[in-house]
Amino acid sequence: MTSLDDITGLDATAITHKRMSAMSASATVAEVRAYFAESSSRQLAVFTDGDDRYVGSLGAAALPANAPDDALASDFSERGTTVPPTAPADEARDLALAEPSKRLPVVEADGTLVGIVAIDTTLTRFCGT
């Protein structure tokens, strides 16, 4: 894993976790709860349409406890902050650190989801790099 400080001269692509799992925009709240329950490192559900275009994201802590299991999870999501793959890595890092989930979607200009910038729980390294 890459250190948060070892990114001089890099762009967001270099610190992007590309092996993350995006969820369909039609995923239910129950499916998103199961996704979060599978791993404590899953702090952000990222939703895409059928063309892998970013629709929105939902942090684990932002999912209302009383949300009905059969509701569309994307109804609770927001577009939020994203970063293009060409953004400087230090900018992407700083934006991710400002997010409650410490996760930030990396999205192409046409809306295609590239991955996420994900910071580990020690706040010292990027996940998936």
The per-residue pLDDT for range 35-85, each reduced to its tens digit, is: 999 988 888 999 999 999 999 999 998 999 999 999 999 999 988 899 999
Distance CA(53)–CA(17), nearest Å, equals: 17
CA 118 from centroid of its chain's CA atoms: 7
pLDDT of residue 23: 95
Q: What is the pLDDT of residue 64?
A: 93
Confidence of residue 129 (pLDDT cuts 50, 70, 90): confident
1 pLDDT more than 90: no
The domains of the chain are located at: 12-118
- State how far the Cα of 92 lies from the Cα of 57, in Å rounded to an integer: 16
CB 60 within 8 A of CB 101: yes
Q: Is 45 exposed, middle or buried (0-12, 13-18, 19+ CB in 10 A)?
A: buried
Instruction: Output the average pLDDT for the chain.
Output: 93
CATH level 2 (architecture), domain 12-118: Roll (3.10)
Percentage of the chain exceeding pLDDT 90: 83
